[in-house]
A and B are shown apart, each in its own frame.
Chain A
Amino acid sequence: DTGVSQDPRHKITKRGQNVTFRCDPISEHNRLYWYRQTLGQGPEFLTYFQNEAQLEKSRLLSDRFSAERPKGSFSTLEIQRTEQGDSAMYLCASSPGPGTEDEQFFGPGTRLTVL
């Protein structure tokens, strides 16, 4: 399968713990996006990478959140000192570029539950 993959698919953690999620985009895609989706809502934009450069970051992304894409391939999203409000589905998507009109290809998501 050459689609976007995310790991883990599910994560249960206790409040205050740190968690890290991984996203592997489609191999030739140089753009990568992270979203958060809560029940009954659409995906909320968190951040975006063009190759290894993080070009845009939502105000939703507090200082406890950090994302990296060190070699322009896979990406990680880390949440430090998790809170119950962080419970959500975290989605990763990629797109090929270079145009601005390209659609995004989504992974299956990582469901985070903070107890």
Chain B
Amino acid sequence: AQSVAQPEDQVNVAEGNPLTVKCTYSVSGNPYLFWYVQYPNRGLQFLLKYITGDNLVKGSYGFEAEFNKSQTSFHLKKPSALVSDSALYFCAVRDINTGGFKTIFGAGTRLFVKA
């Protein structure tokens, strides 16, 4: 069965510092991996995805994520955090070998960036 774990409920970082939001996954086959962000009173927005190829993927707003197959991780990173990055971040996985489109989301990590 597919599953996603986001081990940190909350991440605090000072503006200008690098940030990492952690995600590990479990699928029986090969994964498609996604990061979404949810700002207050707004719907979830797509940030980036890993499908195949280069393990480092770049996305919106300066975010990037690194796929690590041996550690089954897909951590979200940004070199320099902004206060406006404060939001709720969700990691998600889809098992491409099952042939379906069921996407499993993690419980979310709240990011606080302090000025």
Contact = CB atoms under 8 A, between A and B. Distances in A.
Interface of A: 3-4, 31, 33, 35, 40-45, 48, 50, 55-56, 58, 91, 93, 95, 100-101, 103-109
User: Of residues A31, A58, A104, A109, which shows the largest number of chain B Cβ atoms within 10 Å of its Cβ?
Assistant: A104
B27 interface: no
A58 to B, nearest CB: 8
A79 B42 CA distance: 24
B100 to A, nearest CB: 5
B100 A55 contact: yes
Contacts of B105: 35, 42-44
Contacts of B43: 3-4, 91, 106-109
30 contacts: A4-B43, A40-B107, A40-B108, A42-B90, A42-B92, A42-B105, A42-B107, A43-B44, A43-B90, A43-B105, A45-B103, A48-B102, A50-B101, A91-B44, A93-B44, A95-B101, A100-B32, A100-B96, A101-B32, A101-B96, A103-B46, A103-B49, A104-B44, A105-B46, A106-B36, A106-B43, A106-B45, A107-B43, A108-B42, A108-B43
Contact of B102 (A4, A40, A56, A103): A56
B90 to A, nearest CB: 5
Interface residues of B, number: 25
B87 interface: no
B104 interface: yes
Contacts of B108: 40-42
Nearest to A99: B51
Given A40-B107, A42-B105, A42-B106, A106 B94 contact: no
Nearest to B48: A103
Contact of A56 (B100, B104, B107): B100
B34 interface: yes
Nearest to B50: A101
A45 B95 CA distance: 14
